[in-house]
Amino acid sequence: MIERLRCADMFVRTLCLLGLCLTVAASWADTPQAPAESFSEAERLLWTGDQLKAIEAPMTLEYRFKKSGTLEAGFEDKVVFTIHKVRPDGLKSASLAFFTGERQFPIEPEEATDANPVLKVYLQGDVYEMNRLTDADGKARERWRYFQRRIKFALAEAAEIKPVSFEFQGRRHEGREILFAPYVKDPKRALFERFADKTYRVVVSETLPGYLHEVTTLVPGEGEGAPPLIAETLSLVSAKPL
């Protein structure tokens, strides 16, 4: 039975209580061997290509996470993605520390990668949290898979993409903003109505170290003008050489 936990530990302990490891995050791109043209534009932007090509030397990327809203107590933490080595073939040796202290959960380092894992790990944690929030009795341990499929469908069929410009560490970057709302037209939304209007926003740029600039999610409040039930932001705040 899922124990009621302090919000500061919920994101990570949900992972442990569901008995799942973060290697599952690789499944966000259903068929990574498929040709790029078989993916939608949103899927190509998020899951294909060399996301680390702007990194030419070992460095540390730090993301800041903030959760707020009226549903439950929020918290703040950080995510650190470290590029330890740039290999002769252009691939990177890297490690990821997602959150700190008791909230941190283990993720295997990569010896040769061209991907930034932060978004995949965040989305995996997001669907686990959706499982927790919509399963008060703790009887639907695999419901997260349904939420994961809905996000995949939204990226494949209904995501909106816009050009975006932003500044990071004194440099202007041009990128793309990917917007999607996977549950708005969900035929089963009555099972999780409070969270069905949840929206997602992801900002990426090829010129940015690590490619991923920001992820935000929002569950609107109940009633016109009400503050959000849940608001989360994960944003890149620094890129420093080792």
What CATH number is associated with residue 102?
A: 2.40.360
The answer to whether position 2 is within a domain reads: no
Among 174, 188, 194, 206, which residue's Cα sits nearest to residue 48? 206
Contact 221, 228 (CB under 8 A): yes
The answer to whether position 85 is within a domain reads: yes
The three-class DSSP label of residue 209 is coil
Please report, to the nearest 10 degrees, the dihedral formed by the alpha carbons of residues 161, 43, 65, 6 taken in order.
Answer: 120
Q: Give dist(CA 113, CA 119) in Å, integer.
A: 15
- Domain with 26, as residue range(s), is 7-241
Q: In the prediction, which pLDDT does 224 show?
A: 86
Q: In the prediction, which pLDDT does 190 show?
A: 94
103-107, 109-113, 178-182: which range is least confident on average? 103-107
The answer to whether position 110 is within a domain reads: yes
> Residue 87 to residues 51, 82, 83, 116: CA-CA distances in angstroms?
15, 14, 11, 16
pLDDT, tens digit, 9 for 90 and up, residues 3-59: 333 443 444 444 444 444 444 445 676 544 555 567 999 999 999 999 999 999 999
Residue 68 has pLDDT above 50, yes or no: yes
- Residue 140: pLDDT band (50, 70, 90) is confident
If one counts the domains in the chain, the total is 1
Q: In the prediction, which pLDDT does 141 show?
A: 82
Please report, to the nearest 10 degrees, the dihedral formed by the alpha carbons of residues 97, 23, 65, 150 taken in order.
Answer: 170
Q: Give dist(CA 147, CA 145) in Å, integer.
A: 5
**Averaged pLDDT, 123-127:** 96
Query: What mean pLDDT value characterizes the chain?
Result: 88
The answer to whether position 1 is within a domain reads: no
The answer to whether position 185 is within a domain reads: yes
Residue 92 has pLDDT above 70, yes or no: yes
Q: Give dist(CA 61, CA 208) in Å, integer.
A: 11
Query: Whole-model pTM?
Result: 0.88
The answer to whether position 214 is within a domain reads: yes
Q: Give dist(CA 210, CA 83) in Å, integer.
A: 9
Q: Give dist(CA 240, CA 242) in Å, integer.
A: 6
CA 121 to chain centre: 6
- Is the backbone of residue 171 left (phi > 0), alpha (psi -120 to 50) or beta? beta
6-15, 158-167, 184-193: which range is least confident on average? 6-15
The answer to whether position 53 is within a domain reads: yes
Q: In the prediction, which pLDDT does 5 show?
A: 38
Among 83, 80, 88, which residue's Cα sits nearest to residue 110? 83
**Averaged pLDDT, 219-228:** 93
Q: In the prediction, which pLDDT does 33 show?
A: 53
